[in-house]
Amino acid sequence: MKIRKANINDIRVIAKIYVDTWKTTYNGLVPDNFLNELSYEEAENKWMKFFSDSPRSSFIYIASNDSEEIIGFAAAQINNDKEFKGELYALYLLPAAQGLGTGRSLISTVAEHFMNEGISSMMVWVMKNNKSGRGFYKRLGGK
């Protein structure tokens, strides 16, 4: 597995991973009609905007497998919040990449990025009923 900073050419794959994982991860947690209306095109626009949003200091890292296929990504940004300047905005992995340390590696990379910016705290929003997501972050020391 390799982790690197995303570039503009990665946005299409990031959008696909985002939509596909929303449909599996949040099935039963959000209304079906919301999941059914997710589109790759809208997701691509969303992630292109996030990627281009330099005034907010946003960034994306991608993980790729040995065949150099993107298997997941982490998006983060620097906020003006006094307590949590760093925000892990998104972490999405293809099902085949889950449980292999990919998410942990992406979060470590994001944390290192924040530390290089002088930021020593990070927050992430997780749905209350997303038990697997909450468990993952709790195992990493999240509160």
In whole angstroms, how large is the CA radius of gyration of the chain? 15
Buried b / exposed e along 118-129 (16+ C-beta atoms within 10 A): ebeebebebeee
pLDDT band at 68 (very low <50, low <70, confident <90, very high): very high
pLDDT of residue 28: 85
Rounded to two decimals, the pTM is: 0.90
Is 24 or 72 the better-scoring residue by pLDDT?
A: 72
pLDDT at 89: 92
Interhelix angle for 11-25 vs 40-52, to 10°?
120
pLDDT-based confidence at residue 4 (cuts at 50, 70, 90): very high
Q: How confident is the model at residue 121 (pLDDT cuts 50, 70, 90)?
A: confident
Tell me how far apart the alpha carbons of residues 40 and 126 are, in angstroms, rounded to a whole number: 22
Residue 102 has pLDDT above 90, yes or no: yes
* Confidence band for 100, pLDDT divided at 50, 70 and 90: confident
Element (H, E) at 72: strand 70-78
The whole-number average pLDDT for the span 105-113 is: 95
**Rounded to the nearest 5°, which phi and psi values hold at 95?**
-50, -40
Give 10-64 pLDDT, tens digit per residue.
Answer: 999 999 999 999 998 888 888 899 999 999 999 999 999 988 876 558 999 999 9
Domains of the chain with bracketed CATH: 2-139 (3.40.630.30)
- Poorest-pLDDT segment among 18-22, 109-113, 139-143: 139-143
Q: How many residues does the chain have?
A: 143
